[in-house]
Amino acid sequence: MEWSDDAIVLSSRAHGETGAILELLTRDHGRHAGLVRGGASRRIKPSLQPGNGVHVQWRARLEEQLGSFTCELARARAGELMDSRDALAGLNAFTAVTAAAMPEREAHAAVFAGGEILLEAMMADDTAHWLPLYVRWEAGLLEALGFGLDLSECAATGAKDDLIYVSPKTGRAVSRDAAGIYAHRLFRLPGFLLANDSEEAHADEVAAGLALTGHFLLERVLRPHGKEMPPARLRLDAIVLSP
């Protein structure tokens, strides 16, 4: 078995004296792990840092085996991302959520493409820009996994205007009028998640977005598989609440 693909490094851990087990988010082969021989060497190790873009070739005798990677660095991001506290928190949240939520070896090219856009935005170290992108990426991840939010119309009335809430049970939008006395039980819907909203997102809207996507990731993706929200994702809230 053999294939090649573009990928984002999620993690790398030592294996034996000189090797490394590399976990990647690939474009066409999903979340995938493999052995990199010599991955702990001074020459190769810098390329295998989280956030870097690599072009990889995977080989194994059987498809179900761990197999081995050969890697070529395509986009060095790790150094710049690690120089910023905020960008590092975003990178850690991205890699941790990807590793926890995405099924192994299940291709989701849109999630990979969104991740590339997100990491490039983080390189600019402008949280006002990349934090809303991060929320959108999580919403896209939910969509890819079959748990997408339905923000097209009010679940109760079918209205398409004044959608400001989301039901925590259905993931569907709710209008201001339809919410009524139950508004306090609903999630706030930040305007930047609506396709027709182009205004800059404020910190309170980003916090609302993180609460919204985090709830559905936890309840629909992670807990059904015995997992909790990764601590790295929880720490991202502190970036929003304490700018």
Q: How confident is the model at residue 12 (pLDDT cuts 50, 70, 90)?
A: very high
Q: Are residues 90 and 68 in the same domain?
A: no
Q: What is the mean pLDDT of residues 149-159?
A: 96
Q: Are residues 109 and 197 in the same domain?
A: yes
Domain boundary among 76, 107, 128: 76
Q: Are residues 110 and 213 in the same domain?
A: yes
- Domain for residue 198, yes or no? yes
- Tens digit of pLDDT for each residue in 211-239? 999 999 999 999 999 999 999 999 998 88
Q: Are residues 205 and 137 in the same domain?
A: yes
Q: Are residues 30 and 60 in the same domain?
A: yes
Q: Are residues 72 and 83 in the same domain?
A: no
Domain boundary among 32, 51, 76: 76
Domain boundary among 15, 47, 76: 76
Q: Are residues 84 and 57 in the same domain?
A: no
* Angle at alpha carbon of residue 159, lines to 208 and 139, rounded to 5°: 35
Residues 6+ apart with CB under 8 A from 223: none
Q: Are residues 130 and 15 in the same domain?
A: no
Q: Are residues 221 and 132 in the same domain?
A: yes
- Domain for residue 19, yes or no? yes
Cα separation, 173 vs 79, whole angstroms: 40
Q: How confident is the model at residue 240 (pLDDT cuts 50, 70, 90)?
A: confident
HSE of 55, CA atoms in CB hemisphere, 13 A: 3
State the CATH number of the domain containing residue 9: 2.40.50.140
Say if residue 197's pLDDT is above 60: no
Percent of the chain with pLDDT over 90: 88
Say if residue 6's pLDDT is above 80: yes
Average pLDDT, the chain: 94
What single-letter amino acid sits at 17?
Answer: E
Q: Are residues 235 and 115 in the same domain?
A: yes
Q: Are residues 41 and 134 in the same domain?
A: no
- Tens digit of pLDDT for each residue in 88-141? 999 999 999 999 999 999 999 999 999 999 999 999 988 889 999 999 999 999
- Give me the number of domains the chain comprises: 2
- Domain for residue 218, yes or no? yes
Q: Which domain holds residue 116?
A: 79-151+189-241
- Supply the pLDDT for residue 243: 56
Say if residue 206's pLDDT is above 80: yes
* Angle at alpha carbon of residue 141, lines to 28 and 198, rounded to 5°: 115
Q: Are residues 110 and 84 in the same domain?
A: yes
Say if residue 195's pLDDT is above 60: yes
197 vs 55 pLDDT, higher one? 55
Of 154, 148, 194, nearest in space to 171 by CA? 148
